[in-house]
Structure 1
């Protein structure tokens, strides 16, 4: 199962990110359409995201309500409710089905996998979160025993849309890549 994390407060953006458009499509729909090519998909919402809930209802996308206390707290809640799963942030507009497939194949259902990109693959204009020499991306496998890094190869996973500037960049990229 793939769960799209779409219940955050979007404090840096100032508005609900999952419904914001990249390439004339809400980011949530971009992520959902790629994820559903690989597995069953559920969207994790909270009281913080009423417009995202409306979008899911309108599009017939299955969702679950989380407490909305924070990203980690919601992951723990979802793990208790559903068992191990693949998680992806709703603000990764350029995630591809092949990215989901790669992490799904590597996931044993126990050891959590944190999706990372080697820094050499990160486009120069992006400023991702860097940890132990890798860019951390919002695609992970959530298990019950330990954690390992999992290297991905899609450079555009380094673009997590958290700010108005990143949204503008994502729209420029969408125009360039035709998506």
Structure 2
């Protein structure tokens, strides 16, 4: 998912092109490739991030352009066009690597239509990270990592989907660039 506005960052440029050794989006693309788990990598873009789209085109990444109507609407549009298992990953996870992707895939039950990887508040607090979106799961405060494994063939709409959750408290998926403070903290890593 690479088509967001990145509005919480309050930047003049685009969030996914921020550098941590290389543009953040390349960390995610390299992790997906390095996992050797996928036959295709598809970047979901929109008019909200034209420089990111151009960067991806210049790097020969296959694109799926969406209207940029919001995460859920854009994702629904993409999933309707696919008939396979899909790993959805936010493109702002600079520590993502192939090993954690393999771990996620092996922990997911392929019988589930939608499995979302979540992180506990306790773990995020230990990293000095925060989230704006918390929910209760197994008597713990948790938040979304930006990673899900979905059987797109079984999805007609984004409504009434039975979502399963797996907690994986791992820095490689917990560190998600949402704010300027997150980026500043990344610089100290």
Alpha carbons of structure 1 residues 109 and 62: separation in structure 2 relative to 1, 3 Å: farther
Once the 2 structures are TM-superposed, how far is the Cα of residue 110 of structure 1 from its aligned partner? 4.4
The answer to whether residue 151 in structure 2 is matched with residue 151 in structure 1 is no
Once the 2 structures are TM-superposed, how far is the Cα of residue 102 of structure 1 from its aligned partner? 2.4
Alpha carbons of structure 1 residues 119 and 13: separation in structure 2 relative to 1, 3 Å: closer
Superimposed CA distance per residue, residues 56-101 of structure 1 (whole angstroms, 9 cap, x where no aligned partner):
1221111111121000111111110113411111111111212222
**What is the TM-score when the length of structure 1 is the normalising length?**
0.85
How far apart, in 1, do the equivalents of 2:17 and 2:109 lie? 29
| Alignment partner, residue 61 of structure 2 | 61
| Alignment partner, residue 137 of structure 1 | 145
Alpha carbons of structure 1 residues 29 and 120: separation in structure 2 relative to 1, 3 Å: same
**What is the TM-score when the length of structure 2 is the normalising length?**
0.81
Larger-gyration structure (1/2): 2
Q: Show the 5 A alignment for 1:1-179.
A: 5-14=1-10, 15-22=13-20, 24-38=21-35, 39=38, 40-83=40-83, 84-105=85-106, 106-108=108-110, 110-122=112-124, 123-128=126-131, 129-132=133-136, 133-143=141-151, 144=155, 145-173=161-189
How far apart, in 1, do the equivalents of 2:178 and 2:120 lie? 21
For structure 2, the residue ranges without an aligned partner over 5 or more in a row are: 156-160
How far apart, in 2, do the equivalents of 1:99 and 1:82 lie? 24
For structure 1, the residue ranges without an aligned partner over 5 or more in a row are: 174-179
Alpha-carbon RMSD: 1.8
